[in-house]
Amino acid sequence: MSPAASSEAARIVSWNVNGLRACARKGFGRWLSRCGAEIVALQEVRALPEDLPSALRAPRRWTVHMNPAERLGYSGVALYSRRKPDAVETSLGAGNRKYDVEGRLQIARFGRLVVINGYFPKGSGKERDNSRVPYKLGFYRAVRQRAERLRRGRYRVLVMGDFNTAHREIDLARPRDNTRNSGFLPEERAELDRWIDAGWIDTFRVFEPGPGHYTWWRQWGDAKQKNVGWRIDYVLASPNLRPFLEGAFIQRRVQGSDHVPVGVDLDPAVFG
């Protein structure tokens, strides 16, 4: 488990649940009630709001916003928050409908803090042929452009979610075996380089520079037990958020998905 948030910190968590209904059967509701978070961003929800039981659609003391994909049982993101956001957007704007229809994005504003919840596409097609890499790279660029506009507006910005890319060799157990596979292609890693080169902060690496820390494992071959994994879930922060950053974590022991939650603890003054 991650260290407990201090009573003063605002905890913000991201989790690819790999199907919210399936995750709920494995304890999502219990985790949500005990996670101590102010904001929880979910990816790969794979359900329409009306298909969810009330305990998931409208849990007590949480405000919930969902952005499902047009295709049933696919993709989708959701945001659970203890405080009501000032605004929530789900579109990247004109010319980006091909991304919007897949329900991959939420942009929520809480005072001076903006949380971008993104489920970045996989680059592998149905035949694992890397045919979706151009679509994936286009989504990266569109989200970064939107995030940079918010940054120029002097908002404090978090971009969090399943990025579906391991940035550096330290971020996956077997880098040499995956140089031709989507998730570790040079052009995918270069998109993350562009974020970092522009000053965005990989919050987990502020506190943990070492190897062996992953957020996703294959569901066969005892991959998680053997820790043969990938770190593909991130919380990136705009530079002006750095003074408010108190901690970052991976909740490796949480069950319910092939991913585990990641997050940050912030000084609550970040909202003001």
Q: Which residues of 41-67 are buried (b: 16+ CB within 10 A; e: fewer)?
A: bbbbbbbebeebeeebbeeeebbbbbb
- Quote the tokens at residue 200: 């965005």
233 is catalytic: no
What residues have CB less than 8 Å from 134, skipping those under 6 apart?
none
Q: What tokens does 259 get?
A: 């991913």
CA-to-CA separations, 236 to 54, 159, 193, 215, 248, in angstroms, rounded:
32, 5, 12, 15, 11
d(CA 118, CA 232): 12
Is the four-CA dihedral 142, 145, 149, 151 of positive or negative sign?
positive
The number of beta carbons lying within 10 Å of the beta carbon of residue 84 is 10
| Residue of 129, 162, 197, 258 marked active site | 162
Nearest-angstrom CA–CA distance, 212 and 224? 11
Q: What DSSP state is assigned to residue 259?
A: B
Q: Which residues are catalytic?
A: 162
